[in-house]
Structure 1
Amino acid sequence: MPPPPLALIPPDVDVVEVRGTPTGDQLAGAEVLYVWDHRFADLAPVLRSADRLRWVHAASVGVNRLICPELAQHQITLTNSRGVFDISIAEWVLAAVLSFVKGLPDTLALQREHTWLYRTTGRLAGKRAAVVGTGSIGRAIADRLSRLDVHVTLVGRHESSDLTAVAAEVDILIAAVPLTAATTGLIDAEVLAALGPAGFVVNVGRGATVVEDELIEALRAGTIAGAALDVFEVEPLPAYSPLWAMPNVLVSPHMSGDYVGFEADMMGVFVDNLQRWLRGEKLHNIVDPDSGYVRG
């Protein structure tokens, strides 16, 4: 990730910039920890070492790597950056779905070969899509798809328990959920088989939501027609992964939400919360550690 725009933090706040694992001296007296790099995963020892720490803010929406028992034990509030990436991720999903329906990968391949080949493609209007995840990102995706005359079903926690039945009724299955025990391996061979040979899978949530080996097998066998993936079980996606070479797969390096200027917008969410913190007001985007996401 690019460096955080620390100049946006109010000048009357003492800022200690940490590169790597924070030392005891760097943590001494700290009340707020801003985790800029979402890959930061070793929060527990930090919380045990920072006696005065009361609030951790994540510069990301997914916070599964930051959830640990020490949050509750030390009564530390965890917040995230919900809202920053809603529109950009929804736009990425639209681009991926339209590219698939309109056959743009084939068009580009034929262009590179200087081949003029007339053919017809599909229509997005009238397609049926299920968006798994009813958070702000999932709702933004559903809103924009519905504006293009797609029949959208929003799938929440209760409905996702019978995702096979949901998949059997749609053409496009979109995962936009945080990684929790309930969402790990949610989209498996059974769900993919129900989606069917014309089905298209999109994952902009977390890689482990989809059983990757079973997805690869479904793509190879023609169980489904294609997939657009921005997240993977292992990141960066290993060079040996078959997904790289599959013509019916879009591989994107976990960037669906990032846009020019997102760093300032993301810092803006933190600064707004910081002002609330300094005034003693309730923070926005408080994560429920038990569920792993912001409720409501």
Structure 2
Amino acid sequence: MEPIERAATVRYAAAADLPDALRGADALFVYDFLSRALPSAWPAADTLGWVHIASAGVDPVMFPELRDSDVVLTNSRGVFDAAIAEYVLGLVIAFAKDFAGSLRLQQQRTWRHRETERVAGTSALVVGTGPIGRAVARLLRAVGMSVAGAGRRARRDDPDFGTVVSSAELTDHVADVDVVVAVAPLTEQTKGMFDARAFAAMKPGSRFVNVGRGELMVTDDLVSALRSGHLSAAALDVFEQEPLPPESPLWTMENVLISAHMSGDVVGWRDALVEVFADNFARWCEGRPLRNVVDKRLGYVPSMS
């Protein structure tokens, strides 16, 4: 933040202090990307022209007053793409090779020979066709998987997905794939898209990976699909409620891998987030176009691809 501190008066504020810090401020850097403090502090934003959030998802700050205002919203698109793609690939391989089962047997000091699966030749549907979804698709293709995408607009001959189907018709396209990966942004259209109907439409024995937002899925419906055996496994990095409550049945299900909203958080990620803001701050001061401008009607940065 040193270059920014040399160029501007910077106020650092916790959630409780945000209203006072916002008065007279021209820009806001939401570094705590999970904070929900901005909506209640919004009336104090008397001179605000730009909000930047340190995440790819903008749902924590996508409330009606900001959406309907002239305030520009930017995000940190691009920081997490490769890291999350590697994480998803690791999960797909971990399921195929049953690493969790090997660890349990090791802890029991039990020698048990098993057969595992090939990843090559299996199929995946990546739900969310932004930069993160594209990075995921490229890595899964690299290990021999057949990959399609699901996005807002159906199309063919996509450079990363080949075929992109409409996410509004999700249940028509999940029946023939081995792995469904959720990386879509959280919007009114995507909230709860993975519900009992969607899980029931998935291929028996298939697997579900969510590295997008917890609210994309209905947790109780996922638990039911896993308990019934219709889904063979799930890997979850995000949840409807975070931290995941201790009483959640997901903790004790052997066919579930849980991580603490960390799929993109590799060494150096915090510095990278500040660097994205610093670059945009320099652009803002110089009157140049900002990067990663969010279409507030859509809830994400639009792409031509």
Q: Which of the five TM-score ranges fits, normalised by the shorter chain?
A: over 0.9
Deviation at 1:27, TM superposition (A): 2.5
Q: Which moved more, 1:188-197 or 1:207-216?
A: 188-197
Distance (whole Å) between structure 2 residues aligned to residue 68 and residue 200 of structure 1: 33
The equivalent of 1:252 in structure 2 is: 259
RCO higher in 1 or 2 (8 Å CA, sep ≥ 6)?
1
* Candidates 50, 55, 75, aligned match of 2:50: 55
**Matching of residues 86-97 of structure 1 within 5 Å:** 86-97=81-92
The equivalent of 2:168 in structure 1 is: 161
Distance (whole Å) between structure 2 residues aligned to residue 77 and residue 51 of structure 1: 14
Q: Is the 8 A contact 1:175 1:202 kept in 2?
A: yes
Encode CA deviations 1:52-92: one digit per residue, 9 max, x unaligned. Answer: 11000001111112012322544100111010001111111
The equivalent of 2:111 in structure 1 is: 116
**Matching of residues 36-51 of structure 1 within 5 Å:** 36-51=31-46
Distance change >3 Å, CA 192–CA 295, structure 1 → 2: same
The equivalent of 1:197 in structure 2 is: 204
The equivalent of 2:160 in structure 1 is: none
Deviation at 1:23, TM superposition (A): 5.1
Distance (whole Å) between structure 1 residues aligned to residue 3 and residue 286 of structure 2: 18
Distance (whole Å) between structure 2 residues aligned to residue 252 and residue 102 of structure 1: 19
Aligned to 2:60, what secondary structure does the other structure show? coil
Distance change >3 Å, CA 222–CA 38, structure 1 → 2: same
Deviation at 1:282, TM superposition (A): 1.0
**Matching of residues 215-294 of structure 1 within 5 Å:** 215-294=222-301
1:213 aligns with 2:208: no
Distance change >3 Å, CA 144–CA 8, structure 1 → 2: farther
1:151 aligns with 2:181: no
Distance change >3 Å, CA 24–CA 148, structure 1 → 2: closer
Distance (whole Å) between structure 2 residues aligned to residue 62 and residue 164 of structure 1: 24
Instruction: Give TM-score, length-normalised by structure 1.
Output: 0.94
Aligned to 2:272, what secondary structure does the other structure show? helix
Distance (whole Å) between structure 2 residues aligned to residue 253 and residue 93 of structure 1: 14
Q: Is the 8 A contact 1:102 1:122 kept in 2?
A: yes
Deviation at 1:50, TM superposition (A): 2.0
The equivalent of 2:98 in structure 1 is: 103
**Aligned residue pairs: how many?**
291
Stretches of structure 1 lacking an aligned partner (at least 5 in a row) = 1-5
Distance (whole Å) between structure 1 residues aligned to residue 134 and residue 237 of structure 2: 18
Q: Is the 8 A contact 2:208 2:233 kept in 1?
A: yes
Q: Is the 8 A contact 1:193 1:223 kept in 2?
A: yes
Q: Is the 8 A contact 1:204 1:229 kept in 2?
A: yes
One-letter amino acid matched to 2:51: V
1:32 aligns with 2:27: yes
Q: Is the 8 A contact 1:8 1:268 kept in 2?
A: no
One-letter amino acid matched to 1:120: E
**RMSD over aligned Cα atoms:** 1.4
1:7 aligns with 2:2: yes
Q: Is the 8 A contact 1:128 1:150 kept in 2?
A: yes
Q: Which moved more, 1:257-266 or 1:112-121?
A: 112-121
Distance (whole Å) between structure 2 residues aligned to residue 231 and residue 278 of structure 1: 36
Distance change >3 Å, CA 247–CA 283, structure 1 → 2: same
Q: Is the 8 A contact 2:19 2:42 kept in 1?
A: no
Residue identity over aligned pairs, in percent, reads: 47
* Candidates 120, 127, 135, aligned match of 1:125: 120
Q: Is the 8 A contact 1:187 1:210 kept in 2?
A: yes
The equivalent of 2:14 in structure 1 is: 19
Q: Which moved more, 1:110-119 or 1:164-173?
A: 110-119
